[in-house]
Amino acid sequence: MELHNIEPVFDENSEVLILGSFPSVKSREQCFFYAHPRNRFWKVIAGLCQAEVPESIGEKKRLLLDNRIALWDVIASCQITGSSDVSISDVRVNDLSVILTHSRVSRIFCNGRKAGELYDKFLYPLTGIKATILPSTSPANAAWSLERLTEAWKTAIRKEK
């Protein structure tokens, strides 16, 4: 059983929540989200926010909070082989109420299909907030270029404002 070891990023001004499925091996090692150098998450967020790509954990947190974005994952613990979403089983979910009751989050986006499926199954019945599933920033989603990903994310997040 693998345990989620990264605290959520949010503050009282957060309006948008982005949820992944479960941290990759690299992210669990570094204790922060999207640490694998080939994952395009931070490039996509920088593109959305018209900012430089953040390098340090502090810069990443500041980019999110300055743009009213909260970040966490659906899963609190699970069985997983490596970083493969396909291998995920025995899921226990995070309690999103810690974010939803202490922020202005009213819109939720899932980074990839697996995060969306798990959110819909386990968390939507509790939150009542419909999530929009965005194309995954994972390097496994090679069919999507960085430019196409950034545009899809921008379009979805702007459309729902």
What one-character-per-residue DSSP string does 29-82 give?
HHTSTT-STT--HHHHHHHHHT-PPP-SHHHHHHHHHHTTEEEEESEEEEE-ST
Global pTM value: 0.96
Render pLDDT for 39-96 as a digit per residue (tens, 0 to 9): 999 999 999 999 999 999 999 999 999 999 999 999 999 999 999 888 999 999 999 9
DSSP conformation class of 2: E
104 and 13 Cβ atoms separated by less than 8 Å: yes
Residues assigned a catalytic role: 39
Q: Given this model, what pLDDT does residue 130 score?
A: 98
**Residue 120 in this model has a pLDDT that exceeds 80:** yes
What per-residue string of b and e applies to 95-111 under the rule 16 or more CB within 10 Å gives b?
Answer: ebeebbeebebebbbbb
Count CB neighbours of 50 within 10 A: 8
Give mean pLDDT, residues 108-133: 97
**Residue 160 in this model has a pLDDT that exceeds 80:** no
Residue 157 phi, psi (nearest 5)? -70, -40
Q: Tokens for 66, please give them.
A: 């300055």
Q: Which domains does the chain have, with CATH numbers?
A: 2-141 (3.40.470.10)
